[in-house]
Amino acid sequence: MTQLLTEEVRAMLGTSVTYVAPEQLSRASIRYFALAIGADPERWRDEAPPTLICESAQLTGRSAPDGDSYLGHTWELPLPQPCAMFRGGNDYQFFRPARFDDVIRTSWTLVDATQRRDRAGEPLLFVTAEAAYTANDDLLATNAETMIFRPLGSAQPEGAAPDAETTASASEPEASSPHARQLAPGEWPNVGTEIPPLHRCIELPDMVAYGAATWDWHRLHYDLAFAQRLGAPAPLVDGQMLGALLAECVLRYAGAGARLTRLAYRNRTPVLAGNTVSCTGTIATVDDAGFSVDLSVTVGDRIAVAPAFAQLAWSSS
């Protein structure tokens, strides 16, 4: 088996890089991101939706995209052969909301690398990096991100070849449970309650709008020929967009009575341009501090994101 986890790659563990955004986040960036994920822009004016700062390449301050038209941070690992990179998942923790007038500092560290095999025996390199986002010496959020590298000769997103368990259904999304509704002000949820699902058909224009809102112009998300060279049948929805939709799903349910403090999710199979995703969740725990929600994203009968969970704290306002 090809060895992707070489000594040269191992030597990069512990590498850190810091970016300071060249401008304030701005109300315009907040509004555009809210519109791109289908959130109410009137709710997000002075404060940003929580996942925005974890997704936006605006914060790097880079002025020239790389060869894949990507403006965000990349590690440029010394891999022994050309590989495609796919997002494996993220674990966000949120400490205080990012404001429109924040100038955000992002510090990334490469922390771990592990080699595994896919079901066909091809090598996969799982790389973990951690980021901290600060403004005015306040810690805003942290992000533990998993990236999956696959040799180009077999560069097919994991799970992209449909089988009996993962083939998407052509049926319409299921209707909401009659018990699934938004929390009323001051109401506490009950364990086992289903939250209202979020259904969205993500067409190519939606992906382009999201890419613009996050300053992410990577060709994998709009260029059919480029996506096919990497083994995908169509442009792929950015995995972080699915995280943003999960956050929007739980925040619609919680209303102003709670704030998101953690969101963790694993991307299992790719979502393609034109797919309809369904974000669903069930209340897992409730206590005096807040509540948690077990989440998933499906495309028909196929699981695209799982496991996933969100932790919310009761709002002090």
What is the per-residue pLDDT for 315? 86
Per-residue pLDDT tens digits for 91-107: 999 999 999 999 999 99
Q: What is the pLDDT of residue 1?
A: 64
pLDDT single digits (tens) 62-86: 989 898 889 999 999 999 999 989 9
Looking at residue 140, its pLDDT comes to: 98
Give CATH for domain 7-314: 3.10.129.10
What is the DSSP-derived secondary structure letter of residue 173? Answer: P
Q: Tell me how many degrees the CA angle 145-269-73 measures, rounded to the nearest 5.
A: 30
Ranges in the chain, pLDDT < 70 = 1, 154-180, 317
Please report, for the chain, the start and end positions of each structural domain, with discontinuous segments joined by +. Answer: 7-314
Q: What is the pLDDT of residue 175?
A: 53
Q: Are 283 and 189 in contact (CB under 8 A)?
A: yes
For residue 174, the model assigns a pLDDT of: 54
Q: Tell me, what's the pLDDT at 170?
A: 40
- Does this model's pTM top 0.85? yes
What is the pLDDT at residue 165?
34
Determine the pLDDT at residue 120: 86
List of residues 6+ apart from 80 with CB closer than 8 A: 2, 3, 4, 6
The backbone torsions φ and ψ at residue 103, rounded to the nearest 5 degrees and listed phi first, read -100, 115
Is residue 113 a contact partner of residue 123, using CB atoms and an 8 Å limit? no
Q: How many CB atoms lie within 10 A of CB 148?
A: 20
pLDDT of residue 164: 30
User: What pLDDT score was predicted for residue 172?
Assistant: 54
